[in-house]
Amino acid sequence: MSGRNGVANDDLRKRYEAAFMPNYGVPPLALARGEGSLVWDVDGNVYLDLIAGIAVSSLGHGHPALVEAVSAQTAGLAHTSNLFLHEPEVLLAEKLLELLGADGRVFLSNSGTEANEAALKLAIKYGKAAGRGYFVAAENGFHGRTLGALSLTGKAAIRDPFGPYALDVRFVPYGDADALRAAVTEDCAAVFLEPTQGEAGVVPPPPGYLTAAREICDATGALLVADEIQSAIGRSGTWFAFRHELAAATPDILTLAKGLGGGLPIGACVAFGPHAALFAKGDHGSTFGGNPVGAAAALAVIATIEREGLLGHVTAVGERLGEGIGAIAHPLLAGVRGRGLWRALVLAADRAPAVEAAARDAGFLVNALQPAAVRLAPPLILTHEQARSFVDALPAILDTAAEKEN
């Protein structure tokens, strides 16, 4: 079967394999278009999108507010560089600070890893001024693939091939407050943590862990950096996942990206209090970061979440989705974890790729995140009925995955 312009999945995959570096492998599908939470491949098959471009397409596909904002901004002014300012970036920075409810300053980037690079440079500068020489991050944490962010990433499989690194980064088990307390001294410049570990398999921290991290950093003078690249902008049912625990306090630096632009590339690094002024003129920059189109898209995403009450919707649909999955008794399903519309199916065996393939064959796009964990990060507009359809189909998907592996 072939789609528009006679292009078919198999043909396009062969051309992709021949033309691109092999770092992604060859994706299983060539997508042609989307509408809401549905996408179609070039062969005309339709799927319920339960991964949303790795938690990026927060308003789904083709949302009128995003289309209108991006179209209008592109028609008017698509780029300025950082030699000139523009109103959308100012409005976006002001809006992020309003949502965070704290005094701070914003740096806009192209992506999440670049937001973390900005946070790391702030922490390095802070450390140099204060005589602090090392950093602490969590085992299995993920902060990006550029070399600075990669040095903080606690996944050996992707970190080790490119070491050694210039920074002294010490890794501790995620969720272990005692280990964190032992690792952070007055020589530590900063602690980098995800409020929920994303690439590790959507792993929330135990209650009290983020509060303990805040207290440890306050006691030693180390900066607390919250990596909300994946978790921010409504993914967990709050604007920022750290708010599930740190209602009355903030990290010293916060980074976000993915869902912020709803499909347009944009990230942000926000620093608070005295740390907001650590960068001096010339310390950091980006030609494309926070360009007018990306900023307009982010403003449209935030305005739509507010106008349509999507934070409450995410919480309600996410709870029903989690309860529905949790109620399934299947030998391959060990449980479900996560918050809001950010969940992981926890498997009883290392069969996530088989589950992903079986789900795709059944019309659902999910992500084999770890050998025994499958990620769900659908658009925030996912309906109760769509969530229910996946829950209803899941037992048969698990049956198929189990049979394939056997």
Residue ranges of the binding site = 112-113, 142, 145, 227-230, 286-287
The annotation places the binding site for N(2)-acetyl-L-ornithine at 145, 286
240 touches 229 (CB < 8 A) = no
CB atoms within 10 A of CB 82: 14
* C-alpha span between 347 and 386 (Å, rounded): 22
- Beta-carbon contacts of 335 under 8 Å, excluding residues fewer than 6 positions away, are 326, 346
Structure tokens at 74: 């592109």
3-class SS of residue 336? strand
β 367-370/373-376 pair status:
antiparallel
| Residue 385 exposed, middle or buried by CB count within 10 Å (0-12, 13-18, 19+) | exposed
* C-alpha span between 41 and 337 (Å, rounded): 29
* C-alpha span between 183 and 96 (Å, rounded): 32
The annotation places the binding site for pyridoxal 5'-phosphate at 112-113, 142, 227-230, 287
Q: Where are the alpha helices (DSSP H) in 84-175?
A: 87-100, 112-130, 147-152, 156-159
- Beta-carbon contacts of 9 under 8 Å, excluding residues fewer than 6 positions away, are 29, 30, 41, 42, 43
